[in-house]
Structure formats: structure tokens, C-alpha cells
Amino acid sequence: MNAYPPSRDDSRRARRRFEPDRRGPGPQGVIVPDVANWVFLEVLRGAEAVLRGAGLDLLLYNLGDDSGLFDALSLCERVDAALVLCPPLTPVTPTEIEILGFLLKEPVVLVGASVPGFPSVRVDDVGGARTAVQHLINLGHRRIGLISGEAAGDGSDNRETALSTASADRRRGYREALAAAGIECDPGLEAVGGFTWLGGERAMAELLSVESPPTAVFVADDEMAMGALRALRRARLRVPEDMSVIGFGGHDKAEVFELTTVVQPLARQGKIAAELLLSLLDAVPDASQNLDASEVVVLPVSIEIRDTTCRPASGTT
């Protein structure tokens, strides 16, 4: 007897045989690294609206802090397709994605990440970071610090293994903007905040401790920026008179803090990813008709200027 790997159609037929009353695609899996994270919640909101509008149910799998995608492989027996939101940055993740796609025998769409052979939707992190730093340069700042999510050289700069490259791409945009303006990059003005409020506070305190602190800081995530603002308040420094701060993300509390920030269309990422998933499933023939499943969809970002940035004080550039 010869054995052959089951095809996608074989998988569908088997499911229909054991679920004779089901019509069309079944539940869609959504794999989330941290369901409490505001970024993932916004992306999920956009995806859910599209999938529920198409009459499809969602099965949410929360990886948690230390879990890898292998922990979510049990989804393969329960869903027809999967959205994977910004997977954790580990060298084995691309392999995990490939195994997930093979076992599922149905589409896998990535959000905020890229793996060759899989459709994905993300934002222009490099361009957004350049825009943020250019705003500070246009105001007259020359000593501009960076609070990134992850340290350079931790794997986030390795495009052969990295999946979510947001931290590396935003660092790259920061450095490119400085170079274009003829400003030498000073490693002493870069700190790491780990994409958390507390991490942002600690990173800003670190930047304030250097011999010649920056006059402005680009913070690569809004939650880290809010923590950075708290560090400045505790240091009795005025924002933006003593220090300008610009974030990245478009957090719903950014307006409360009057935070100048780069706004990324999170819900739209989820919406487009879900439409792409539907088009791949042929559940909605006209959905995402302008999207090519073989391409990475990169969405533009915008800048929201509020009250945390201004020109540097005279003689402090």
C-alpha cells in the first residue's frame, strides 16, 4: 500500500465526512502571543469584525509569555485556517509556522510578521521611525535618544531567523534618519525598554544618567513612552521644554498623555488579514480582491503631533 501526504482537498473532504451538517469553512484560529496586550487586542478587533460578518467563528489561542507556536499545534484539528498575530521573536518560529501550515492544510496568514511563502500584513516600521526622528530633527534636536523594544544583536536584526522585526526595523529607521541629517549615531543614547511601561521608565532613567543626556527621545512603543514620561516627571523635568518625547503605536491612552506618536493602523491590519484569509478560503469571492496572497502587505503609518515635542531650549541641541 502506498501512502501519500493528504492534500488540502483531502483534508476538507475528511472534515465534511465527520461533520456532515457543517456548511462552508469552520472555525478560524487566531494565535495571540499575549491576549492582554493592547496591540494584539486592536488587531483582533479588526479581524473579528470581518470574520464574524462572514458568519465564521473564532477560536482564540493565547500563547502566554514563554510559549512557542508548537504549543498551538493542537489547533490544527479544530480550525480550518489561522491568523497568527506577531509571533514571539525566536529562531525556530519560521519552522513552527511551516509545520503549522503543513498540518493545517489550510491558509495561515501572519500579522506584523514575515515568513517566506506565507501571506502577511504589517506596517512600515522603518518609515514610521524615520518620520518620528525627522520630526525631532526638524524641531532642531541633534542629541536624539532611542528606547527600543529589544537590544541590537539579540536576534531581532537577523532577517533569516527573525519573524516579527518591529524592534529592529524601528531602530533601523531611527539610525537612517540620523544619518540622512548628518548626525552621528551615539550608542550611549540607545536604551532598551522591552515593550513595557516599566521598561520604558527604566530606559529613560538610564538615558538621563549619561554624561550628556539627549534633548529628545524616540520611544519605539507607546506604552514604553508612557513609562518614559513617568521617569521624566519623577526627575522633575518638564516635557517638552526639558525633553521631547515621541512614541510609536497609536495607543488609545496616548491622547490622555498628550503624547506625540506615530499611529499604526492596528485594526486595519486585522481587517485586511481577515479579508485575505477569506479570499484564500473562497468563503467570500470578492473579499480582498486587490490583495496578492504571495505578497507582503505593508501599510503606511501617520504622525499625530501633540504636546510632548517642541524645539530644544537654547544652547541644548
Instruction: Read off the pLDDT of residues 170-213 as tens digits, 9 standing for 90 and up.
Output: 999 999 999 999 999 999 999 999 989 999 999 999 999 999 99
Whether 203 is in a domain gets the answer yes
Task: For residue 92, report the phi and psi dihedrals to the nearest 5 degrees.
Answer: -90, -5
Asked whether residue 292 carries a pLDDT value surpassing 80, the answer given is: no
For residue 234, what pLDDT is reported?
97
Percent of the chain with pLDDT over 70: 75
Whether 234 is in a domain gets the answer yes
Q: Which of 236, 263, 290 is the last residue of a domain?
A: 263
Confidence band for 81, pLDDT divided at 50, 70 and 90: confident
Whether 167 is in a domain gets the answer yes
Cα–Cα distance between 86 and 170 in angstroms, integer? 15
Whether 311 is in a domain gets the answer no
Confidence band for 104, pLDDT divided at 50, 70 and 90: low
Element (H, E) at 313: none
What is the chain's Cα-based Rg?
Answer: 22
Give the residue from 35, 45, 51, 32 showing the smallest Cα distance to 269.
Answer: 45
For residue 144, what pLDDT is reported?
98
Q: Are residues 74 and 91 in the same domain?
A: yes
For 261, residues 6+ apart whose C-beta sits below 8 A from its C-beta are 222, 225, 246, 247, 248, 249, 250, 251, 254, 303, 304, 306
Whether 204 is in a domain gets the answer yes
Confidence band for 9, pLDDT divided at 50, 70 and 90: very low
Asked whether residue 75 carries a pLDDT value surpassing 70, the answer given is: no
Q: Are residues 229 and 219 in the same domain?
A: yes
For residue 11, what pLDDT is reported?
43
* Tens-place pLDDT, residues 105-132: 678 898 988 777 888 999 999 999 999 9
Cα–Cα distance between 248 and 136 in angstroms, integer? 14
Q: Are residues 179 and 110 in the same domain?
A: no
For residue 214, what pLDDT is reported?
98
For residue 35, what pLDDT is reported?
80
Q: Are residues 71 and 161 in the same domain?
A: no
Question: Within 10 Å of residue 120's Cβ, how many Cβ atoms?
Answer: 23
**Stronger pLDDT, 159 or 274, i.e. the higher one:** 274
For residue 33, what pLDDT is reported?
76
Asked whether residue 317 carries a pLDDT value surpassing 70, the answer given is: no
Cα–Cα distance between 280 and 291 in angstroms, integer? 10
- C-alpha dist (Å) from residue 207 to 30, 60, 171, 293, 294: 38, 39, 16, 43, 42
Asked whether residue 12 carries a pLDDT value surpassing 70, the answer given is: no
The number of distinct structural domains making up the chain is 2
For residue 189, what pLDDT is reported?
98
Q: Are residues 138 and 108 in the same domain?
A: no
Mean pLDDT of 233-260: 97
Whether 309 is in a domain gets the answer no
Whether 306 is in a domain gets the answer no
Q: Are residues 239 and 131 in the same domain?
A: yes
Do β-strands 216-219 and 144-148 pair in parallel, antiparallel, or remain unpaired?
parallel
* Tens-place pLDDT, residues 27-74: 788 878 778 888 889 999 999 999 999 888 888 878 776 566 666 666
Asked whether residue 18 carries a pLDDT value surpassing 60, the answer given is: no
Give the residue from 129, 102, 132 showing the smallest Cα distance to 117.
Answer: 102
Residue 66 is part of a domain; what is its CATH number?
Answer: 3.40.50.2300
Q: Are residues 258 and 145 in the same domain?
A: yes
Burial (CB count within 10 angstroms: exposed 0-12, middle 13-18, buried 19+), residue 35:
middle
**Stronger pLDDT, 146 or 27, i.e. the higher one:** 146
Q: Which of 235, 263, 291 is the last residue of a domain?
A: 263
Whether 184 is in a domain gets the answer yes
Q: Are residues 156 and 107 in the same domain?
A: no
Give the residue from 93, 98, 123, 94 showing the smallest Cα distance to 108.
Answer: 98
Read off the amino acid at residue 18.
F
Q: Do residues 281 and 297 make contact, with C-beta atoms less than 8 angstroms apart?
A: no
Instruction: Give me the domain span that covers residue 168.
Output: 125-263
Cα–Cα distance between 120 and 139 in angstroms, integer? 36
Mean pLDDT of 299-314: 95
Asked whether residue 165 carries a pLDDT value surpassing 70, the answer given is: yes
Q: Are residues 175 and 253 in the same domain?
A: yes
C-alpha cell at position 42: 486592536
Q: Are residues 225 and 269 in the same domain?
A: no
Q: Are residues 133 and 115 in the same domain?
A: no
Q: Are residues 106 and 133 in the same domain?
A: no
